[in-house]
Chains A and B, each alone.
Chain A
Amino acid sequence: MDSLILLMLLLLPLAAGVAIPLLPPPLARPAALAMAGAQLAMGLLIALGGKDLSTFVILQSWLPQLGLALDLGLDGVSLPLLLLASALTAMAVLATPVNQERPRFYFSLLLATNLGLVGAFLARNALLFLLAYELILIPTTLLVASFGGAKRAGAAVRFLTYGAASGLTLLAAVLAFVWLQPHDGSGPWTLSFAYGDLAQHALSPGNQRWVMAMLLLAFGLKLPIVPLHGWQPATYSQAPTPVAMLLSGGVSKLGAYGLLRFGLELLPDTWALFSPWIAAVGAISAIYGALNAIAQLDMRRLVAYSSLGHMGMLVLALAAATPLSLQGVVAQMLAHGLIIALLFCVVGMIEAKTGTSAIDELSGLLNPQRGLPFTSALLLLGLMAAAGVPGLAGFVAELLVFEGSWTAFPIPTLVCLVASGLTAVYAVRLFNRVGFGRLNNARADWKSTTWSERLPAMVLSGAVLIAGIWPQALTGLSESTTAALAINTAPSAIAASPLNS
């Protein structure tokens, strides 16, 4: 039964993705929404069911010669990410304009992205993970190239190039993992890419370092982190809003998840060795993202650089690898996923209504008669959440990250704290320019947003609010798993409460 549910999580997007091109165009959107909703519902059932997650497992041999097996499972880290992926897919479907052109093509690509995400998070086999990781590149590139903004061609090419490089490097790393293992020459190669088997690898320290370096490169291209971020601002600003939400909120988490799974879990000693550098890169990323965001004149690029900055903090927490900081990693992945999706959603709404995302051209959107007061209010919420204002999800995540990383890497943590302060700078600047001031009457020729247009932003805002005042939402599922993954021992999770399982 449980394995059936697990399979359904994958089959739903697959079936829907295949079925949608066969449906009449008006049905594409409801079908996609239904699929995402069903997937989310199932994920919630699993999460709130309270059952031991080890019962949700599928092991089906597929291509034993290659070592590829349908090896699916859930644990404390992948389950929340699964929920995030389905939630963001649902929000992306809702955020798609009703008059989307070529809806069947669009929604099937969206669902293919979902399939890739869910497959990657559910995979317990490195090749399966790799398959999903590579597979996701195609629909996302197509989405950007077909439906994106004016400069989508260049952005898509860049995205594809960096993504392909990431995929190839990961391929090399995964293969090296197995092939570089000492083989005593007796008997045929038994290839197994299952996580469990990989965890018992016998790589030499030198080889471990090579593999780690490749993993860092591959996932660093995906997250992204400085200096591998060349594709990100262009892609996020040219992608259509729902795609940007999914990319920044979901797909970028693949990088973090990969580092957690492959780097930290499978190569802990090497991770400990590399971690000072990783922490430094994280801190640099955070400052770089924040400073660039302050300088931006376009709202979408500003949000893109904001995302870069927050990913940097995530990387710092990963590097620190204390139980608390790893909780922070999961919390940051979830919180950032929700917040950045909210920000892109709202910025997209503003752009759709006003026709521009240039900060210089916008002002006075809070005007109650002719502005976009509701949307601007949600923008404020999103910006505050990104800045880490208590009461919202961003604060919970950042608190865990900073408190968890402080003992391991004080200087990078301090730098990230400064970066966090800088987020308030660009948040305030953006809102001051765009929300306050006098609305330009000559440009204010739009209808107000309808409730159906506001729905995804409202749901995301609600989630951000709830997570802010009920932090268990972000960390509850993952506490035990992250504690097990930690390298450094202190600080550990905050005092165990009867609610912890």
Chain B
Amino acid sequence: MTATIAGVRPPLIPPSTHPYAEVIHRLEAGGSMLPDTPENLQQIIGIYKAYAVPMDFYWRDLLYIAERVFLNPLPAFKYFISQEYLDRPNSYAGENAALRIWRGGEKAHPELLEFMAKGETRAMPKLLHHLWHDRVNMEFAEACMQAMFWHQGMGGRFNDYIAGDTYRANADRAIKAYFKGNLVMLGLYKLFPEMFLEQVRQLSYTANLGLFWEVMAPVFFEMSDLYDEGQLTSVPQAMDFLVNGIFAVAGRPIYHHVFIGGECFEIIPKSEGFTWLYEAALPYVEAVFYRTSPFRGTKSYNSQAQQVPAHQADFHYGILYADVYPVGSAGIPPTLLMQDMVHFLPPYLQELYKQHRRGEEDQLVQLGITFQRSMYNVTSAVIQALRCAVLYPLNDPDPEHLKANRHFFEAQMDRFLRPEARLADIQTQDYR
């Protein structure tokens, strides 16, 4: 159900009195939390493309780790993805895709391959690239996975399942098969079964995230292509594309298969019925966009002074609340992602950044803010999709229905009332 711009008839319900009333009215008219300006569109499409290229690596490597590396106790080479996974066809791109979202190829993106070969320095053996850290920052993907793993109460059945007995039995089979013949590890498993089980749970979330991002990469690539062709001309249009994408893939199964010695162990089979929308996308948005966790190693938090919330649901360290200034320390997840994205910026974004603030010097900060804008757009798409799924169309003639929609939007906007939220900042173009 695509949202339509409201006609010229008078509104059926009085205007909102929420502090973010303007944004709510825009949402009710089918728009996004991000204002519809040509520059906003340019920024978000450019950054979607820059995000999608490393994301292509993330999802492949996440699945590689979840399916192949599995419980390797010393996974020093878990980022050394195999050619099989680089060639693994993206289910939503390429000619043989059942539901083709992107018109491009199904294998790893050529820009990604080029970067993996050369990096920022020059062509070197992979090990040297890895040690020099001249590579895609896979640590960011793992940090996102950790966020999804740690946070509870985000909806979906995934968490309950992996705490249950069926999962335990599946995992047990896989663990025993993986360490067949390894008496030390099997002995450790006997002593500390919960530890191994926890590792498998973490790997299940790794697979979950990999399958989630497998969808998002072609969506972003297609949006970038459409924009380049001139077919995407407004921010609401971009948002609608995302909404349609969310619905189209909503039913995709989420599973965790492990390949041990040529045999496939279904730790989470497809038959459990976990869906992309409920078990992957919505928890991801909640965990990574809203919650995450404070970045360790940059600031001390006094828990007795309640500087960190007591409840997970109150965590507000995600991209939607992010402070633009990574202190420059290594290892802060957004910094890692920004460093990845800076390698794949389309030329029009590079031009844009040269003209503002410190030009090329603080590209990273500028693109970080652009990324924040783009994620507000994605969140708007998720909000609109949720509204579409469980509430009413935007042009519903029934005022009661519209009031229900309004209530929903206001509840969503309430989450941005806290001072750290950047919703007010992204309403102006000055925020760079």
| Docked pose: A439 CA to B362 CA in angstroms | 14
**B357 at the A/B interface (Cβ < 8 Å)?**
yes
A residues near B365, Cβ cutoff 8 Å: 369-370
Within 8 A of A (CB), among B327-378: 327-328, 357-358, 361-362, 364-365
A interface, over-half SS: loop
Most chain A CB inside 10 Å of its own CB: which residue of B325, B328, B365 = B325
For residue A441, which residue of chain B has the nearest CB? B324
| Docked pose: A442 CA to B432 CA in angstroms | 9
* The 3 nearest A-B residue pairs measured at CB: A369-B362, A368-B328, A369-B365
Within 8 A of B (CB), among A311-330: none
A residues near B430, Cβ cutoff 8 Å: 442
| Docked pose: A369 CA to B361 CA in angstroms | 7
**A448 at the A/B interface (Cβ < 8 Å)?**
yes
For residue B362, which residue of chain A has the nearest CB? A369
Q: Name the contact of B325 in the complex, choosing from A364, A445, A448 (C-beta under 8 A).
A: A364
Q: Name the contact of B357 in the complex, choosing from A364, A368, A370 (C-beta under 8 A).
A: A370
- Chain A positions 438 through 460: 1 when the CB is less than 8 Å from some CB of chain B, otherwise 0: 11011011011000000000000
| Docked pose: A1 CA to B47 CA in angstroms | 71
Contact between B323 and A369, CB atoms less than 8 A apart: no
- Chain B positions 414 through 432: 1 when the CB is less than 8 Å from some CB of chain A, otherwise 0: 0000000000000000110
**A488 at the A/B interface (Cβ < 8 Å)?**
no
- Chain A positions 32 through 54: 1 when the CB is less than 8 Å from some CB of chain B, otherwise 0: 00000000000000000000000
A-B residue pairs in contact (CB < 8 Å), sample of 7: A364-B325, A368-B328, A369-B358, A370-B365, A438-B325, A439-B325, A442-B430
**A296 at the A/B interface (Cβ < 8 Å)?**
no
Contact between B323 and A370, CB atoms less than 8 A apart: no
Q: How far is the CB of B160 from chain A (nearest CB, A)?
A: 40
Q: Name the contact of B362 in the complex, choosing from A364, A370, A438, A442 (C-beta under 8 A).
A: A370
Q: Name the contact of A447 in the complex, choosing from B325, B327, B358 (C-beta under 8 A).
A: B358
Q: Name the contact of A448 in the complex, choosing from B328, B358, B364 (C-beta under 8 A).
A: B358
**A472 at the A/B interface (Cβ < 8 Å)?**
no
Contact between B358 and A367, CB atoms less than 8 A apart: no
- Chain A positions 331 through 370: 1 when the CB is less than 8 Å from some CB of chain B, otherwise 0: 0000000000000000000000000000000001001111
User: A368-B328, A369-B358, A370-B365 provided; 7 other pairs, C-beta below 8 A?
Assistant: A370-B362, A438-B323, A439-B325, A441-B324, A441-B325, A442-B430, A447-B358
| Docked pose: A444 CA to B362 CA in angstroms | 11
Q: How far is the CB of B90 from chain A (nearest CB, A)?
A: 34
| Docked pose: A256 CA to B325 CA in angstroms | 47
A residues near B323, Cβ cutoff 8 Å: 438
Q: How far is the CB of A444 from chain B (nearest CB, A)?
A: 8
| Docked pose: A444 CA to B432 CA in angstroms | 10
Within 8 A of A (CB), among B118-159: none
Within 8 A of A (CB), among B299-338: 323-325, 327-328
B interface, over-half SS: loop
Q: How far is the CB of B361 from chain A (nearest CB, A)?
A: 6
| Docked pose: A442 CA to B323 CA in angstroms | 12
For residue A447, which residue of chain B has the nearest CB? B358
Interface size range on B against A: 10 to 19
- Chain A positions 63 through 102: 1 when the CB is less than 8 Å from some CB of chain B, otherwise 0: 0000000000000000000000000000000000000000
Q: Name the contact of B328 in the complex, choosing from A369, A438, A444 (C-beta under 8 A).
A: A369
For residue B324, which residue of chain A has the nearest CB? A441
A residues near B324, Cβ cutoff 8 Å: 441
| Docked pose: A367 CA to B364 CA in angstroms | 13
B residues near A370, Cβ cutoff 8 Å: 325, 357-358, 362, 365
A residues near B362, Cβ cutoff 8 Å: 369-370
For residue B431, which residue of chain A has the nearest CB? A441
- Chain A positions 418 through 444: 1 when the CB is less than 8 Å from some CB of chain B, otherwise 0: 000000000000000000001101101
B residues near A364, Cβ cutoff 8 Å: 325
B residues near A369, Cβ cutoff 8 Å: 325, 328, 358, 361-362, 364-365
| Docked pose: A364 CA to B361 CA in angstroms | 17
| Docked pose: A463 CA to B128 CA in angstroms | 42
B residues near A367, Cβ cutoff 8 Å: 325, 327-328
For residue A367, which residue of chain B has the nearest CB? B325
| Docked pose: A447 CA to B360 CA in angstroms | 11
| Docked pose: A262 CA to B7 CA in angstroms | 91
| Docked pose: A495 CA to B325 CA in angstroms | 54
Q: How far is the CB of A435 from chain B (nearest CB, A)?
A: 13
Q: How far is the CB of B365 from chain A (nearest CB, A)?
A: 5
| Docked pose: A370 CA to B361 CA in angstroms | 9
Q: How far is the CB of B317 from chain A (nearest CB, A)?
A: 15
For residue B364, which residue of chain A has the nearest CB? A369
B residues near A438, Cβ cutoff 8 Å: 323, 325
- Chain A positions 179 through 194: 1 when the CB is less than 8 Å from some CB of chain B, otherwise 0: 0000000000000000
B residues near A439, Cβ cutoff 8 Å: 325
| Docked pose: A444 CA to B325 CA in angstroms | 11
Contact between B361 and A448, CB atoms less than 8 A apart: yes
Q: How far is the CB of A291 from chain B (nearest CB, A)?
A: 31
B residues near A447, Cβ cutoff 8 Å: 358
| Docked pose: A444 CA to B366 CA in angstroms | 12
| Docked pose: A445 CA to B328 CA in angstroms | 19
Q: How far is the CB of A428 from chain B (nearest CB, A)?
A: 18
B residues near A448, Cβ cutoff 8 Å: 358, 361
For residue B368, which residue of chain A has the nearest CB? A369
A residues near B328, Cβ cutoff 8 Å: 367-369
- Chain B positions 285 through 310: 1 when the CB is less than 8 Å from some CB of chain A, otherwise 0: 00000000000000000000000000
| Docked pose: A364 CA to B431 CA in angstroms | 18
Most chain A CB inside 10 Å of its own CB: which residue of B323, B365, B431 = B365
| Docked pose: A441 CA to B325 CA in angstroms | 8
| Docked pose: A370 CA to B327 CA in angstroms | 11
Q: How far is the CB of A453 from chain B (nearest CB, A)?
A: 15
| Docked pose: A367 CA to B326 CA in angstroms | 9
| Docked pose: A171 CA to B93 CA in angstroms | 92
| Docked pose: A382 CA to B362 CA in angstroms | 27
A residues near B364, Cβ cutoff 8 Å: 369
Q: How far is the CB of A436 from chain B (nearest CB, A)?
A: 10
For residue A445, which residue of chain B has the nearest CB? B357
A residues near B361, Cβ cutoff 8 Å: 369, 448
| Docked pose: A369 CA to B362 CA in angstroms | 5
Q: How far is the CB of B280 from chain A (nearest CB, A)?
A: 33
For residue B432, which residue of chain A has the nearest CB? A441
| Docked pose: A243 CA to B193 CA in angstroms | 75
B residues near A442, Cβ cutoff 8 Å: 430
Within 8 A of B (CB), among A103-129: none
| Docked pose: A445 CA to B324 CA in angstroms | 14
Q: How far is the CB of B244 from chain A (nearest CB, A)?
A: 35
Q: How far is the CB of A476 from chain B (nearest CB, A)?
A: 42
